[in-house]
A and B are shown apart, each in its own frame.
Chain A
Amino acid sequence: MKAFEYAAPSTIESAVSLLGDQWGETEILAGGTDLITSLKQGITAPDRVVSLKHLGLNDITVDEDKGTVTIGAMTPMGALASDNTIARHFPALAKAASNLGSPQMLSTGTVGGDLCQRPRCWYYRNGMGLLAQKDGKSLVEAGDNRYHAIFGNGGKAKFVSASSLGPALIALGATIATSSRRIPASEFFATPKSESERETVLKPNEIATAIEVPLSGLKNATYEVRHRRGLDWPYATASVAFQANGGKAQVVLGHVAPTPWVASQAAAVLNGAAVSSEIAAKCGAAASQGAAPLSKNGYKTKMVETAVKRAVLIAAGLQAEG
């Protein structure tokens, strides 16, 4: 870890002013569970680290008039997982948070950090670059890509988005407020085309401050395919939200693409149809259409089918939470 300057400003304006306008000059420190590892791995070596610890931004508030729940970006994942309002209205979010499986991670990791964390791709984490190119070829394509993307992998980015909350937030139609603007969750994530880009549309000196989730009464759920039960990454995730009678459906996949992946053809299956086991299975099958597996990750297609099917059934109350 290279030495760096440290600041812990008490206002968002100060924090923004301390950030550089080029990626890598400065880094934002939220819970630290990803950044400190990244610093040790040398995949980022900023001159300054700006901590958000003293900005507050860690409340969950309900605005009945506006019909929204606002989650401060510095809210610990554990607080999100155990919040009654969230559990009642947004089980898809509560489940995605609690599935982290580690009390230590839940107490320190933050909601904003979850959205902005860097990919876990082992080529990236081993210092071979975000896009893992060597001599103009993809190391991922030629190598071990069992945990890599099956959707949206036509460009150089083959990694999967690490965000646990992203799929659920998109499915629930959330908006992300930053130090300078408001961004629909569905437009928040981006697929980098070069090493100098990142995985969100945030600018280097822009800070995600809060997430607003509309109280739209949608049935929703998240299902993650996991092997180990404690702290671990899911193989594939599905977050779904839809009206009780079908309609307004959203199906969003996690850990299968460089961003959370909106499966609109799967959502179409749900729209206008009452949920049944058969519809859920059809929805799962539709979600996996268009998958373009690499050499070692074809199995994820089946997992996507299952995850979507089960998330739909859980949201509809036809199956217990898995």
Chain B
Amino acid sequence: MASASWPEKGNRSLIGKRISRLDGPAKSTGRAQYAYDVNLPGMLWARVLPSPYARAEVKSIDASAAAAMPGVHATWVDEDLINDEVRYVGQIVAAVAAESEEIATDALAKIAVSYTPLDHQVDDNNPALARRPSDKEEGDLAKALDEADVVVEGNYSCPVITHCCLEPHGQVAEVRDGELFLWPSTQNVSRYADRLDDAVGIARSKMHVDCQYMGGGFGSKFGHDKWGIIGSIMAKETGRPVKLMLERDLELAIAGNRPSAHAKIKVGTKSDGTVTAFEGELWGTGGSGGYSMRAFPYVFNVPNLKTTIKGIRTNRGGQRAWRAPSHPQTCFLTMSALEDAAAALKMDQVEFYKKNLGLTDRPDVYAEQLDIATKLIGYDRKSHLRGDASPGPVKRGLGFGLHTWGGLGHGSECEVTINPDGSVSASIGTQDLGTGARTLIAIVAGETLGLPLEAIEARIGKNSYPASGASGGSTTTGGIATSTRLASTAALNELLAVVAPRLGGNADALEAKEGVIREINHPNNAIAWADACALLGTNAITKRGVNNRTEAKEQGFIDEGVGGVQIADVSVDTETGVVTLNKMVAVQDCGLILDMKTAESQVMGGLIMGITFALFEEALYDPTTGRMLNADMEFYRLAGISDVGDLKVHMMTGEKYEKRGVIGLGEPPVISPGAALSNAVANAIGVRVPELPLTPERVLAALA
């Protein structure tokens, strides 16, 4: 029997190599078809009508004039809103489906909605408005503060940012013979249609979801959302396919909000740098819904602490999960406050962090990572205490961020089929968010069966395949790797049993390597893969493998809990306030790496997304009208290719890390940049810029 355990280092053909993603050519040539690209015969174009008010009572919605327009095939009105309230600008109140986008746009203008505007509230940074505090207390804070040699206090702040997925939320829906076919942009293929049945009146078993490519989700595309219901209802009503994709302004305002976090923090330390006390009050908004924020301080478990977290309900779109929920915010708040303490102590940053690694869950890993990261950035050569004393208006500085994440593989089932003609497929109801899921499945199946990558047909993106979890929280890679490994191993063992009589009779003495089945001890006693499969006669082998998280963790397939260290090297023009990132290093602990190329891409991508948050992103609201002012890509800024500096990624590899099994990698690298860049700017200019993003106006204000 071939063992399902991950192969040892010297015994890997594909795992850990640098492999280009299989669907790269389709993406680079524009052939990859996303939900937005699905064009079907007879298809209608749907557009939604958003509320222009942040809060208003809806008296009536009349879509009859729109419905009467030539070319309009369906209208939809949110009846539940009548005599109820809209709670944010952009809330969908009605929709139309027409033969062209132009007609649909014209028709929207003919929908009459009668509103009575009501008072609204979009301010997310007034702690007096915050509700439902959740308190935490450990040790004896008062005593620790009293006995501290240095106490620093500061306010720190990071705003609501929005996912800004390049492919907006939406889907194409079609009802044929009573069955609903859906092509959504989703990160949750297997369970996208959950609870859609009641809304549409079609059984869950008659819903077919297909998402081969999706243009970014980052935590915002788990459900079918209101637009999924509207599109499906219109498709059912008209009998024609309906495409409903959000316009860019709605995508930014209502389909993705990461909660803000503002805090007042007090840190107490001993003169040797040991952190002994942490007091923090944190508030922010999750928009029109509740506010969800993890406990803090982050990474450093300060023994004496008292913290409060409370949310402000605002008339904004509701919060959605965002790559490493709550971590970037609490990392920034905590590390900024800690670094301010180090600066007050006039202590070297590395020395300070090392002094306090005992407060973390993985001191050894962080210590090793700090050594690597400081070498890569040239710390000894570049470092200085807070405030660059060199002459001239441009000041340079270094700053740190330390982070942690779980990343345990989610529940996943894979079906592997070995056909008599030698072809192999691996099918999972998962999705590729850009992490390379297809490629990883092919790597694991190919590794297990001793076949090249091209020999594996990795099938994903349909809910007709065995179910797999939603892609969130860095859980996909561990989940699909394990289920693929188990299914492939089971299928192989059945094939070995069939082949064994031809190769000496003992299936346990056989292995699949380099495209043949052979005796482990007599590799020349072999049979080619295709010939081996031909022995199956007419019956394919089909086996399923299941990632059961608890078991798989015990058996070493997957694990959770990683650390990472990042250092930013910035220059700040003190006469313009412009911050330039010169260089940044990310050292990341990640378990067994399946594909070094896409793994590094994930870390680079997380880093760049974090840099974007640190330097550019914020959702801005007008207090009078309650509108998001920058629901576009002009003033909602993303970093461009020339804005991110020289980036270095170092993955922690070797026996110690690899033996833990596979751990997801999407979240951790996105966490630290806010902290690292903010600390680097403080190190450069000598004062803290208390708010993110680090825009010129904030830097100049801090210097003034």
Q: Do A and B come from one complex?
A: yes
| A227 and B106 alpha carbons, distance in the complex (Å) | 38
- Residue contact B696 to A139, C-beta cutoff 8 Å: no
Asked if residues A306 and B102 are in contact (CB atoms below 8 Å), the reply is: no
Distance of A191 from chain B, by nearest CB (Å): 22
Closest CB pairs A-B (n = 9): A230-B640, A229-B642, A306-B575, A299-B697, A299-B700, A122-B629, A143-B622, A225-B576, A306-B576
Given A3-B102, A122-B635, residue A225 in contact with residue B696 (CB < 8 A) = yes
Task: Give 10 new A-B contacts, CB below 8 A, not counting A3-B102, A303-B700.
Answer: A3-B106, A122-B635, A134-B624, A143-B629, A146-B697, A225-B578, A225-B696, A226-B578, A228-B643, A299-B577
Chain B window 606-647, contacts with chain A (Cβ cutoff 8 Å), 1 for yes, 0 for no = 000000000110001111110101101011010111110000
- Chain A CB within 8 A of B128 CB: no
B601 neighbours in A (Cβ, 8 Å): none
A227-B642 in contact (CB<8A): no
The A contact surface, by secondary structure, is loop
Give the distance to chain B from A137, nearest Cβ to Cβ, in Å.
Answer: 8
Is A128 an interface residue when CB atoms closer than 8 A count as contact?
yes
Residue of A nearest to B701 (CB): A299
- CB pair A230–B696 under 8 Å, yes or no, is no
Q: Does A53 contact B (CB under 8 A)?
A: no
Considering only CB atoms, which chain B residue lies closest to A310 in the complex?
A: B575
Residues of chain B within 8 A of A303, CB atoms compared: 576-577, 696, 700
Measured in the bound complex, the distance between the Cα atoms of B701 and A309 in whole Å is 20
A228-B640, A230-B641, A230-B643 given; A143·B623 CB < 8 A: yes
| A235 part of interface (Cβ distance < 8 Å) | yes
Which A residues are in CB contact (< 8 Å) with B697? 146, 235, 296-297, 299
Specify which chain B residues have a CB less than 8 angstroms from the CB of A126 in the assembled complex: 627, 629
Asked if A83 is an interface residue, CB under 8 A from chain B, the answer is no
Is B625 touching A128 in the complex (CB atoms < 8 A)? yes
CB distance from B378 to the nearest CB of A (A): 24
Scoring B residues 527 to 555 as 1 if CB is less than 8 Å from chain A, else 0, what string do you get? 00000000000000000000000000000
> Which chain A residues lie closer than 8 Å to B643 at the CB level?
228-230
Please measure, in the bound complex, the distance between the C-alpha atom of A307 and the C-alpha atom of B578, giving whole angstroms. 12
In the complex, which residues of chain A have a beta carbon less than 8 angstroms from the beta carbon of B637? 227-228, 232
The answer to whether residues A228 and B700 also contact, given A122-B629, A306-B575 and a CB cut-off of 8 A, is no
State A142–B624 Cα separation when bound (angstroms): 7
Tell me which residues across on chain B come within 8 A of A228, comparing CB atoms: 616, 637, 639-640, 643
With A and B bound together, what is the CA distance between A233 and B637 in angstroms? 11
B622 contacts A139, CB within 8 Å? yes
Is A120 on the interface with B (CB-CB < 8 A)? yes
Q: Which of A101-143 contact B (CB under 8 A)?
A: 120, 122-123, 125-126, 128, 134, 139, 142-143
**Interface presence of B419 (CB below 8 A):** no
**In the bound complex, CA of A299 to CA of B695 (Å):** 11
Q: Does B288 contact A (CB under 8 A)?
A: no
B238 / chain A contacts, CB cutoff of 8 Å: none
Contacts of B640 in A (CB 8 A): 228-231
Whether, in the assembled complex, A1 has its beta carbon less than 8 Å from a beta carbon of chain B, the answer is: yes
Out of A139, A235, A302, which one reaches B625, CB within 8 Å?
A: A139
A227 touches B629 (CB 8 A): no
Kindly supply a per-residue 1/0 record for chain A positions 196-225, scoring 1 wherever the CB is within 8 Å of any chain B CB and 0 otherwise: 000000000000000000000000000001
Complexed CA–CA distance, A126 and B643 (Å): 28
A187 CB to closest chain B CB (Å) equals 30
Residues of chain A within 8 A of B575, CB atoms compared: 302, 305-306, 309
Q: How far is the CA of A231 from the CA of B641 in the complex (A)?
A: 11
CA separation between A232 and B642, bound complex, in Å?
12
Which residues of chain A are near B155, meaning CB under 8 Å? none
Q: Which residues of B contact A146 (CB under 8 A)?
A: 697
1/0 per residue, CB under 8 A from B, across A229-253: the answer is: 1111101000000000000000000
Identify A123's interface contact among B102, B576, B629, B696, CB under 8 A: B629
Identify A302's interface contact among B629, B630, B700, CB under 8 A: B700
Chain B residues closer than 8 Å to A123, beta-carbon distance? 622, 629
A227 contacts B578, C-beta separation under 8 Å: yes
Chain A contact-residue range equals: 35 or more
How distant is the Cα of A299 from the Cα of B640 in the complex, in angstroms?
24
Complex Cα gap A176–B256 (Å) = 46
- A144: Cβ under 8 A from any B Cβ: yes
Query: For residue B624, which residues in chain A have a CB less than 8 angstroms away from its CB?
Result: 134, 139, 142-143
In the assembled complex, the CB of A117 is this many whole angstroms from the nearest CB of chain B, namely 13
Residue of A with least CB distance to B105: A1
Max chain A C-beta neighbours (<10 A), residue from B616, B695, B697, B701: B697
User: Taking the nearest CB of chain B, how far is it from the CB of A101, in angstroms?
Assistant: 8
Looking at the assembled complex, report how far the CB atom of A149 sits from the nearest CB atom of chain B, in whole angstroms: 15
Max count, chain B CB within 10 A of own CB: residue among A134, A143, A227: A227
B window 627-677: CB within 8 A of A: 627, 629-630, 632, 634-635, 637, 639-643
Alpha-carbon separation in the docked complex, A226 to B615 (Å): 13
Closest chain-B Cβ to A99's Cβ sits at a distance in Å of: 13
Please name all residues of chain A whose beta carbon is closer than 8 Å to the beta carbon of B615 when the two chains form the complex: 227
Q: What's the Cα separation between A5 and B620 when bound, in Å?
A: 37
Minimum C-beta distance from B625 to chain A (A): 7
Q: Give complex CA distance A307, B637 in Å.
A: 22
Give A228 to B697 CA distance when docked, in angstroms. Answer: 13
CB neighbours of B696 from chain A (8 A): 225, 227, 235, 299, 303
| Smallest Cβ-Cβ distance to A102: which chain B residue | B640
Complex Cα distance, B576 from A134, in Å, reads 34
Which residue from chain B places its CB closest to the CB of A302 in the assembled complex? Answer: B700
Determine how close the nearest CB of chain B comes to the CB of A38; give it in whole angstroms.
13
Beta-carbon nearest neighbor of B639 in chain A: A228
Asked if residues A227 and B695 are in contact (CB atoms below 8 Å), the reply is yes
Let me know if B576 and A144 touch, CB within 8 A.
Answer: no
- Distance between Cα atoms of A296 and B641 in the complex (Å): 29
Residues of B within 8 A of A125 (CB): 632
Would you list which residues of chain B between 99 and 113 have a CB under 8 Å from chain A?
Answer: 102, 105-106
Could you say which residues of chain A place their CB within 8 Å of the CB of B105?
1
A144-B625 in contact (CB<8A):
no
Q: Which residues of A contact B625 (CB under 8 A)?
A: 128, 134, 139, 143
26 A-B contacts (beta carbon < 8 Å): A1-B102, A3-B106, A122-B630, A125-B632, A143-B624, A144-B620, A144-B622, A146-B697, A147-B635, A225-B576, A225-B578, A227-B616, A228-B640, A228-B643, A229-B640, A229-B642, A230-B640, A230-B642, A230-B643, A233-B634, A299-B697, A302-B577, A302-B704, A303-B696, A307-B576, A309-B575
Q: How distant is A211 from chain B, measured CB to nearest CB, in Å?
A: 26
B277 to A: closest C-beta gap in Å: 35
Rounded to whole Å, the gap between the CB of A313 and the closest CB of chain B is 12
| Chain B residues, Cβ within 8 Å of A305 | 575
User: A225-B576, A299-B577, A303-B576 are contacts. A142–B623 as well, Cβ < 8 Å?
Assistant: yes
What CA separation (Å) do A226 and B642 show in the bound complex?
Answer: 13
State A144–B123 Cα separation when bound (angstroms). Answer: 12
User: Bound state CA distance, A42 and B643, in angstroms?
Assistant: 32
A3 to B103, CA, bound (A): 10
Contacts of B627 in A (CB 8 A): 126, 128
| Contact residues in A for B622 (Cβ distance below 8 Å) | 123, 139, 143-144
A228 CA / B695 CA spacing, docked (Å): 10
Docked complex Cα distance between A3 and B630 (Å) = 26
B702 CB to nearest chain A CB (Å): 10
Given the complex, which residues of B lie within 8 Å of A3, measured CB to CB? 102, 106
Q: Which residues of B contact A147 (CB under 8 A)?
A: 635
* Closest chain B residue to A122, Cβ basis: B629
* A50 to B124 CA separation, bound complex (whole angstroms): 46
Q: Which B382-428 residues sit within 8 Å CB-CB of chain A?
A: none
Interface residues of A in 249-305 (CB under 8 A from B): 296-299, 302-303, 305
